[in-house]
A and B are shown apart, each in its own frame.
Chain A
Amino acid sequence: MAQKGILSYRRILPVLILAVLSGLFSFYVIGCGPSQADYVEKRPDIIPLEAMKQFGDLNRPVVLFAHDLHTEAIIADDTGTVCLQCHLDISAESSFKYMRRTDEDAETVMNIYHDNCLACHQEYEEAGRESGPLICGDCHLRETVYELSVSPLALDYSLHQRHVVAAADSCGICHHVLDDEYAEVYGDDRIVEGVSRGVSGPLRSCRDCHLEEAVEGVRSMRQAAHGSCLSDCHLDNEPRLATCGSCHDRTRQASFATMENPPRLWAGQPDFMLVAPGAGERNQAKLGSVPFSHVGHESFTSRCRSCHHVSLQPCHECHTLAGSPAGGGVTLQRAMHDMNSEHSCVGCHEEQKAGADCAGCHGLMEQGRLSDHACQICHAGPPPINLADVGGRYNSLDDFRPARAEMRLSFSEDDIPGMVSIDILEDQYGPALLPHRAIVESLRRDIAANRVATHFHGHEDVVCQGCHHHSPVGQKPPLCESCHGEPFDEGYIHIPGLYGAYHRQCIGCHERMNIEPGRTDCEGCHIKKKPGEKSL
């Protein structure tokens, strides 16, 4: 019996179908949770507004604030000190909070943000100018559209010298602690290279006091830089640098004017010295000290922090023999020899080896380990226990290492084969013609042009080892086929066969050094024979 009541199927069916379809559609539309937008803009000025986090869990996604957009909008009005429009206090001691000095409670802080931000946005909107969002979801975006990409600003020698010139040699403007000491110690003398030698008190760098985090009354480097550099100087003087991007954008940094050959930044460092553990530990170190040309190495770096990565103190003061908390537990040995660090001696030298000029040989060699013979090249000085004069400053290092002579060939020209014809595997291709002497000459030239290479390849026979590897150095190195025979020999699984060895060696080197012939240009090395042709 058909029921004709309210629940009759004829009426309920369309409703049912509609409900199902809208349910399906809503599944799709609602999605689930925050997501990454298709295009994420990388900017140096993104500040996540996270002040509310201290009060508990957040209801809405964190607002990613693009500071420069706002600075640029306000600068256009030219209303005097830009910062004060939003920051109540930009003095040396302030913390740059938005429109407040302290964080009282969740409600207050939230209202400060909402009331002020929206008021300004509203104002600009009504004035018909480009403005910001007015509804919640447009600031509290669920999709990530911004990403912080800030290039740290390095005050290298060139930039420092530009500031010296701009400050008309008044060091105390930036090196403010020494305002009083300056006159007392240095008189009116300007701190330039060669002057005031012998004075032991170094002109300290900002970072000696202004660390990563603020410490009892001393602002962090970040606070100091933005607080003083910006607000005391750059906001009001030319060039007017008020936005994050003007300093921290990689492209802008590349466009900074550079000074050719800035004078040496002297903070009391020696020209030449012997690197050894700290005074208290010298009797424990047996290995020879390292004669070190500080002045020479300064020319390889753009700033002190390349090596003095925390402060200007000597390395051994934080990096003791056994490691100390000040040095983050990093022992002196690791600080000097860590192959993966940018700041260690060996780490920097490794970076040099990675360049195309070196990679031809070094790419084939086992990496990640110090070769045993290299120790002697650096540790050429007297053992620290014999050092009477702690701290040692020397006028030259000639006493400690053999005279730095030009790369000399212990082999005469005639000893080095000119053209080598490799025909042992001749089959579909003719013999490979190797311009042997030309290659040696080219390598010699590359090494001579690089001071690290020259220092470490003091004995040029070492060059031969790039190809004639795993064998004793000599005028007549063993033939390749002495060790490289049939491939996949079960007793020698790590040694390639001759066919693979030749190609890996040659093609590998050409690839790493980016030289012709290219890898698939077979005939660049050996001519292809016509089918049936016996030999060329």
Chain B
Amino acid sequence: MTVSRRKFLQWVAGAGIGAMSAGTARAAHGVFEGYPGSYGVLHDTTLCIGCRSCEKACNEVNNLPAPEVPFDDLSVLDEKRRTTAAAYTVVNRYDEIEDHNRPVFRKQQCNHCLEPACASACFVGAFTKTPEGAVVYDVSVCVGCRYCMIACPFDIPAFEYDEALTPRIMKCTLCHPRLLEGKLPGCVEACPMEALTFGHRNDLIAIAQERFRKYPGRYVEHIYGQHEMGGTNWFTITGAPLEQIGLRTDLGTIPAPEFTAGALAIVPMVIGLWPVLLGGIYAINRRKEKIAQSEKETEVDQAVTATRGEAEAKAKAAAESFKKQKEKAVESAVKKALAEAEKNKGKEES
């Protein structure tokens, strides 16, 4: 089966165009502000008393394994904790905050970003941003590559490293199944201080700003999650400096998928142009080789002709001189013979 170059290049071009049109055509300057009517949670750390009721409720609602230390043991707050394969959410205590004579508590869990890095990174599309606002995980396709954990700027997803054959990614689901039933997320329902306010994303922003207005000086007037990483569905408002309670302020407002959009966009370009470039180089090289070959042949021909001509001339000259020599020899032989004959004749007469 011979594939002509022309055919091959046509295939490649077709593939390139196909890839471009099927690709993630995302407007570079578009802003996604969330599905309309999507829900979120506002966490007010000035109300959080660090009772861990939310952790307990999350554990029960999601049928997570019982913890080593029971939830009413508040001594675990002495250490900073992060989400684990058995804990979708943790509360941390932050002491020695400036201008605060009490420690500050903050609950952390998946922030359910508007444009989740995990969903963008997953190469089997195991994460979905639902219209309700929750970012949910489909374990039925997960390969366990853990790229989502690399991508998440908040370091939230956890992995069941102790499972040999069926390890899952574990993270907060915003109790999406309960949301579909019209119920509240487990943690929200359990919080006695209503430090977790559930509602539509826009309403939560209004609530936060109302609190800023009502209690000037109590809060750092910034809704964390409104714009971070392109915006999330989980907000945190606090009276403590954000960095001091473990909230990174250097994440920027660019949504994570935009960071890799450029690199992915180049793929069709390479597919389309590289074969042209390389094929061209190959063709030029072949042409050069051919020219070099034919030049060589011409030279060889010329050299052969020249040498032949020389040889012929030589042979001719040699033949000529041989002929001359022969004639001379014949002549001298004849002369000699004549002289002999004359000599013989003279002898006979005497």
Contacts and interface: CB of A to CB of B under 8 A. Distances in A.
Given A490-B203, A500-B194, A520 B47 contact: no
A487 interface: yes
Contact of A493 (B193, B203, B218): B203
A483 B51 CA distance: 26
Interface residues of A, number: 21
A243 to B, nearest CB: 30
A499 B192 contact: yes
A507 interface: yes
Given A488-B198, A507-B49, A368 B192 contact: no
Interface string B36-78: 0000000000010111000000000000000000000010000
Contacts of B51: 519-520, 522
B193 A488 contact: no
Interface in A471-497: 487-488, 490, 493-494, 496-497
Nearest to A528: B72
A499 B47 CA distance: 14
A496 B207 contact: no
Interface string A262-278: 00000000000000000
Contact of B49 (A493, A497, A520): A520
A367 B215 contact: yes
A387 B252 CA distance: 62
Chain B at the A interface: SS class:
loop
A511 B218 CA distance: 15
Contacts of B197: 487-488
B193 A500 contact: yes
A366 B199 contact: no
A511 B101 CA distance: 11
A504 interface: yes
B215 A366 contact: yes
Contact of B192 (A366, A488, A494, A500): A500
B30 to A, nearest CB: 29
A368 B214 contact: yes
Given A487-B194, A500-B194, A511 B102 contact: yes
Interface string B233-251: 0000000000000000000
B134 to A, nearest CB: 16
Contacts of B199: 488, 490, 493
Interface string B192-223: 11100111100100110010011111100000
Contacts of B256: none
A507 B51 CA distance: 12
A503 interface: yes
Given A493-B206, A494-B210, A511-B102, A520 B50 contact: yes
Instruction: Count chain A CB atoms within 10 A of each CB in B49, B102, B193, B214 and give the residue with the most.
Output: B193
Nearest to B215: A367
B158 interface: no
Given A367-B217, A511-B49, A520-B74, 4 more contacts: A487-B184, A500-B192, A501-B194, A519-B49
8 contacts: A487-B197, A487-B198, A490-B203, A494-B210, A499-B192, A504-B193, A507-B49, A507-B193
Interface of B: 47, 49-51, 74, 102, 184, 191-194, 197-200, 203, 206-207, 210, 213-218
Interface of A: 366-368, 487-488, 490, 493-494, 496-497, 499-501, 503-504, 507-508, 511, 519-520, 522
